[in-house]
Chains A and B, each alone.
Chain A
Amino acid sequence: MSSFPASAEAFAQVAQVAPEPRGPTTRHAAAEKGVLGLRVTYQSFDADRPWRKNLPATRFGMAALVAGPTLVTTAQNIMHATLVEAEKFGRTPRTPARVVHVDWELNLALLQVDDPAFFADLRPLELAASTPNSGTVQSARWLNQQIEVSECRVKRLQVGEARFSRLRHTYLLAQTDLSGGGWAEPVLQGDQLIGLATAQDGQTAWVVPVEMLRAFLQQARDPASGKGFPVLRLYWQWNHDPALSAFLGQEGEPQGGVLRSIPWGSTGHGVLQPRDILLSLDGHLIDSSGYYQHPRHGRLEFTNIVVEGHQVGDVVPATVLRAGQVVELELTLRPYPMDLDLILVRRVEEPPPYVIAGGLVFLELDGDYLLSWGPEWAEKAPAQLVSLYYTSEGEQTPTRRRIILLSQVLPAPYNLGYQGLRDLPVRSINGRPIDSLPGVVEALQHPQDGFHTVDFWPNEERIEAVLDAATLDEATAEILVDYQIPAAMRLPKRPLPEL
């Protein structure tokens, strides 16, 4: 969750001057006047050499004009943006737009266009009261100067994970004939906005529904109040197996979800226990597949219970079967900040941090680093890193917050013998356990007997690298000059979330 300066004030001013046109309508009038294009120039950081940026590139996405007037799009669309321009197709040149609020957790962003004239021939879309769960909706985008409106069949509502975070919320799944969608195409029913397509899987659009849009707009208007959404991050499994439920002391038909682990920092940590059967939450009975009966949308995954109608800090009752006994518990709902994860899924805002010492490049293992092997990174990145990524999910502890890698060695006489080392997870430096880059810097202040000793988690290369302490700074300075690196380190701007 983040906000850009001057959002609330600018918001109010623009709201006063923005016109509310009510002109003649064509067949797709609402879409034509309420759907805008975005041209985004962006420049991401080089995950492998984090001191440099990749070549700038351009992406196109959509945005919905809503009351304000203001533009809503996905956070993904403005990721690493250096220039955002809003486009009214076929009418005027593009107009610069400012990002005023981003919610990375939900993958939504709010943009502002400062020129009031921009809105002259536009009409904000009205937010629907609620998400439909049947019938048809329309997905709209501009393509080659034509508005392209696709009739979409509502398939179902389903709980899924947000793109960049562990937030699980309801999506509207719609069958669409748009190809290559998922770039924030507004989804309408009649003249009303019912969501934004944030992803498309084949011909199925995943639409963030209007309820989440409304919550986002509310938090955008008052960023100070934003605590994020409550998240129930649990590892659980079906309870379909009568043998398993009987083993866990359940009589009769299996009910509830079987919990496997409750990661440190998540809602329920310290309250729920592995092998509890979660029978009900906030009064909703949970079935053996982990679904509950939603009043409007039918069967939905139970993790949605804490998102809909609840705020961070709410206390909700939970019933579990523990060792054959029914136990009533209370869960205080917590957010699950993205940087709570041991391995960050994506580094969306801050440039990647790093530390260079004697040519040894240390960085945090994160999703961006793995993605530097391409979309098929799981089959291309070093096997130990991929294996770490999959086996370390939810494994963070108060003393294990990040996995630090020796990602590469910039070859120099000082580090001769280590120049081939790549992608080794660091266990300790000078005897101090390492789980952060500031920890690396601190440990390097304490050489032992004139040496720095870097110990790695056992790997297929080597388990120790020894460096001369007296000449480390000198060697680092020379290497920075030789390799044209502006600074020896970039540390994380924010401390990790405390609980």
Chain B
Amino acid sequence: MEGALASRAPETADEEAGRLPEIDRSVARIVNYRQEPDWYSPWDLLPVREAWGSGFVIAGGWIMTNAHVVSDARMLLFYLHGDPTPHEAQVLAVGHDCDLALLEPLEEGLLADHPSLPFGELPRLRSVVETYGYPAGGSQISSTRGVVSRIEMQYYTHPWNERHLAVQTDAAINPGNSGGPVVQDGKVVGVAFQAAAGLENVGFFIPPQVIHHFLTDVRSGTYKGFPALGVVRVSMENAAARRKAGMVPGETGVAIDLVYPGGCAQGLLEVGDILLAIDGQRIANDGTVALGDLRTDVELLIDGHQVGDPLTLQVLHRGERRELSVTLGTLPAAARFGNLYDRLPRYYVYGGLVFVPLYLETMKTFGWDWRWKADKALLHEFLFRPLAEPAQYTRERVVLLRRLDHPVNVNMAWFNNLAVERVNGRVIGSLEELIAAIAEHTGRHHLLEFSNYGCFGVIDREAAEQANAEILEQYGVAKDRHL
């Protein structure tokens, strides 16, 4: 197909403009009937919403789109160009970390006649690209044209805490465009995925590097996601800081400010080490690396690898230059600090007390502006205490989120948004540990000690156990837990 297209002269104005009719046939409109969990009533689900997006056919008879287009789906439909028939699809693979997904039509052979779009290379700055999709829920395909205005590492809003390469363009990218192809010279050079709030005519697409990483990962059998070195890096732009670290004139790098426990750098790197180079690529004092005519964050080098790949680090450790090899892994704790999809919340209800893990999703129950609106002590436990005590990253913090009022609990002085420190004297490191601390206790009362302001409370054990079924029934909670 690619060769055939390239071998003949353009016949129409559309073709001359690079807008090939075949592309229209490969772009699908996706409708997702989605239902997200209610993190404040974790046994419950929010109302079903209809969400629209776009996708495109790729080799293998799959449709590529954004993860955010297909997440939390109850029913996924797609429509092909000029065909009013809804077709059902299922998610074959999803990478929430890079906002990409693959769909498979339930009907076998459905896409056999639809050209699969080939992938191109990262487009050059200031080159022209064209987006295809179904913005604003419209049923007719729309295409817009723009130039590549910037290429750099960006936060992806779907996962919230992941940064990957992204391409900025002034081609209009609106809701509904998500998942649609960005095309140059007949090849897909990106997947449209997000716009910049507050900026005009600024849209972003996911570049080929990230798409290839996702596809390679998917083809390996199990999607593992992007690897992380698991460190916090800070710049070394100050000359005195470089001298104190033992860097010689001309030497550049970044300092390690935190090594996440459970990450692949644990035991290899230390706070205060200077990371000089990765895979032989020198790191500038501002934490960037040069890649062709591109200069962007050093994380790009790590993104070029899959989980399990070796990575070579050149490090200045207490005055000594070392070369280290690290096997890249993921950072399991990072999931708690990002948006969660396609899963039901973990919770446990005991005596009407609703316990949940302290995740970003828990903080979001205060609203999108939780960073300013959340209970300040809970904010401290979530964001700042782990920075000071990195071991906290290995601990799943549990929160007494709220109370289902019942005589057994209604007199407790403190009953919501409290980070649980200990239950019956046992330090709590996960929801399972809390359940065990309650289940294995035989005393008359359960003692709950919270991290917030030294607050504590007790609940009568026998009374709570007698009330459990009644409370669940009264408040419409089908099960006391989901783990």
Contacts and interface: CB of A to CB of B under 8 A. Distances in A.
A387 B384 contact: yes
A457 interface: yes
B454 A384 contact: no
A4 interface: no
Contacts of A378: 372, 376
B371 A235 contact: no
Contacts of B472: none
12 contacts: A241-B457, A260-B454, A274-B454, A380-B372, A386-B376, A391-B377, A451-B243, A461-B234, A462-B234, A463-B271, A465-B241, A468-B239
B235 A244 contact: no
Interface string B456-483: 1111100100000000000000000000
Interface stretch (B78-86, B176-184, B408-416): B408-416
A240 B411 contact: yes
B447 A451 contact: no
B384 A241 contact: no
Interface in B212-248: 234-241, 243-245
Contacts of A451: 240, 243-244
Contacts of A465: 238, 241
Contacts of B245: 466
B238 A466 contact: yes
Contacts of A274: 454
Contacts of B258: 458, 463
B17 interface: no
B interface SS class:
mixed
A417 B236 contact: yes
A244 B457 contact: yes
A329 interface: no
Interface string A203-239: 0000000000000000000000000000000010110
Interface string B433-465: 000000000001101000001111111100100
A9 B463 CA distance: 70
B166 to A, nearest CB: 22
Interface in A350-392: 378-380, 383-384, 386-391
A246 B444 contact: yes
Interface size class of A (residues with CB under 8 A): 35 or more
Contact of A466 (B244, B387, B388, B458): B244
Contacts of B414: 237
A260 B445 contact: no
Given A235-B454, A246-B444, A457 B388 contact: yes
A74 interface: no
Contacts of A235: 453-454
A244 B446 CA distance: 10
A387 B378 CA distance: 9
A243 interface: yes
A460 interface: yes
B372 A244 contact: no
B244 A453 contact: yes
Looking at A384, A387, A449, the one whose CB has the most chain B CB atoms below 10 A away is: A387
Nearest to A413: B239
B238 A241 contact: no
B379 interface: yes
Given A247-B444, A247-B458, A462-B235, 16 more contacts: A241-B458, A243-B459, A243-B460, A244-B412, A379-B372, A386-B372, A387-B376, A389-B376, A417-B238, A418-B238, A451-B240, A451-B243, A458-B384, A462-B234, A464-B255, A467-B240
B411 A241 contact: yes
A467 B239 CA distance: 8
A303 B135 CA distance: 63
Nearest to A472: B240
Interface string A393-404: 100000000000
B46 interface: no
A459 interface: yes
A387 B258 CA distance: 21
